[in-house]
A and B are shown apart, each in its own frame.
Chain A
């Protein structure tokens, strides 16, 4: 069995930052493996440990810098990785879900996985649409926002719980092959071991261009364009207590007592 995990390197913005055109000024950003994708990787690696003969392949769309992120997934137990990149992608302000599905879909078609796992959404763009777009493109079944997964490869079915709003789970059966978007909290993502980190350095990380994937330049044509980026006007009218911790805690204590708290 083969499991493909799509992962994304996300932009993490400092508490204090400046905006430079349509992006955050480089000085205030770091990059990391998307939080939701960490859970997707863990789920795949756990299945590989429980079931015999499972290969876990991770795929990402990103520049060379993203190798560091994808090696995190390899260090946690993925077997090999594919990174898709084209320099023209650096100019795209925002990848729409269809474009992303086209790029990832081309890799998925080459890999022909039985199961595709991805995070529910990314921590930066938060479009939350890649997994289901990809499923539709691959003509696979799918389930979004999965917080429990019981794979029954023999029956060709994934028994899943989908986390609905308000503390209610929907219980569903999804035919395989399928794309499942994984919610945080479904498992307890491991830390990479030193041995894992060492091994990751020698695992296969293939870099593919659009040409390699048989995609023409129009594969990047996007009908949506980011036109502005700005800090939202604060709607807040919070009264801020100022001063040292002793002082602010004292003022807050006064307020709480006024409200009848702690009496």
Chain B
């Protein structure tokens, strides 16, 4: 049996999630006494193939397929590789690009798909642990099939490290250009304003709990009183209440301040990915079950509209 994990790269770099996929693949291969194969499609396959040669990897497949990810190309390449290797479990990343091709791969291969795994186990069936309702609860999903496609949440497995003894093999995929219906024409960095939240020592960060745009002054006043920089979680930026360069999280900035004060932020996984590296995390949220309290060092379970003005007053 074989477990196959497909790495991810972008603009000349293998992305961190790749080594996490190798680690998830290793756990699964170990549990099922399977071989572990890793693949990379496109980009600098020579360099990436070398990098992915981690301990316990049996084979690294490199597929020449253009410089950047294109889902139509990846779907065809991975499908052909799966036909050749016949993995029991195909692991893909639950990233933006993973979401852009994993469902099509599963559909093409007619294999069941379970996305956004935070844990994997094998008994008789493959059991995937995933989160529901914005991380409020966890669920286990059993796959009643002998083949499956699973996408893995970034940041859940510690990355594989070191050099292994895998054989690195080039795999020739035949790309049917008539099936390529999309073209990547470029990339664009989010416009940045005059504030760099990644430079701040203290961030006062505001989320959905603030309810109305008018209420932002409450946290602005606090940030001013503390000499801190104001940042935000996604909904605030989506609403246009603060510019995109203030957004902390997976699609925004990754910040590592000395103190991160999360106000009315539930702590969705995409947000946490951007701020878990802060030295001290303080959360103010009225929901005692909010996932932000799982990573906070200090917390106040109370209404922010009571606590924030009182805190501001302490510093005036």
Name A's B-contacting residues (CB within 8 A).
Answer: 11-13, 15-17, 19, 22, 24, 94, 96-98, 101, 120-121, 123-133, 135-137, 140-145, 161-175, 178, 181, 184-185, 188, 222-232, 234-241, 245-246, 248-250, 252-253, 255-256, 259-262
Are B141 and A227 within 8 A (Cβ)?
yes
Question: Bound complex: CA of A162 vs CA of B68, how far in Å?
Answer: 14
Taking the nearest CB of chain B, how far is it from the CB of A254, in angstroms? 9
Taking the nearest CB of chain A, how far is it from the CB of B270, in angstroms? 9
Are B310 and A245 within 8 A (Cβ)?
yes
Residue of B whose beta carbon sits closest to that of A173: B183
Name B100's contact: one of A144, A168, A184 (CB within 8 Å): A144
**Stretch from B21-29, B43-51, B90-98, B162-170 at the A interface:** B90-98
Are B190 and A167 within 8 A (Cβ)?
yes
Taking the nearest CB of chain A, how far is it from the CB of B199, in angstroms? 15
Taking the nearest CB of chain B, how far is it from the CB of A120, in angstroms? 7
B138 in the interface (beta carbon within 8 A):
yes
- Beyond A98-B112, A170-B187, is A15–B258 a contact (Cβ under 8 Å)? no
List the B side residues contacting A136 at CB < 8 Å: 75, 103-104, 107-108
Taking the nearest CB of chain B, how far is it from the CB of A218, in angstroms? 14
List the A side residues contacting B247 at CB < 8 Å: 167
Question: Bound complex: CA of A72 vs CA of B69, how far in Å?
Answer: 37
Question: Bound complex: CA of A227 vs CA of B130, how far in Å?
Answer: 12
Residue of A whose beta carbon sits closest to that of B185: A171
Taking the nearest CB of chain B, how far is it from the CB of A211, in angstroms? 24
Question: Bound complex: CA of A169 vs CA of B141, how far in Å?
Answer: 33
B296 in the interface (beta carbon within 8 A):
yes
Q: How many residues of B contact A (CB 8 A)?
A: 95
Question: Bound complex: CA of A173 vs CA of B293, how far in Å?
Answer: 42
List the B side residues contacting A228 at CB < 8 Å: 139-140
List the B side residues contacting A234 at CB < 8 Å: 293-294
Interface of chain A, main secondary structure: mixed
Can you give 28 contacting A-B residue pairs, CB < 8 Å? A12-B133, A19-B137, A94-B139, A124-B132, A126-B131, A126-B132, A133-B106, A133-B107, A136-B107, A142-B100, A169-B190, A224-B114, A224-B142, A224-B143, A225-B144, A226-B140, A229-B137, A229-B138, A231-B137, A234-B293, A235-B295, A238-B296, A240-B301, A248-B310, A252-B311, A255-B298, A259-B280, A261-B258
Are B294 and A169 within 8 A (Cβ)?
no
List the B side residues contacting A94 at CB < 8 Å: 139, 141
- Mask, B299-316, CB within 8 Å of A = 1, is 111110011001101110
Are B113 and A262 within 8 A (Cβ)?
no
List the A side residues contacting B288 at CB < 8 Å: 15-16
- Mask, B182-218, CB within 8 Å of A = 1, is 1111111110000000000010000000000000000
List the A side residues contacting B300 at CB < 8 Å: 240-241, 248-249, 252
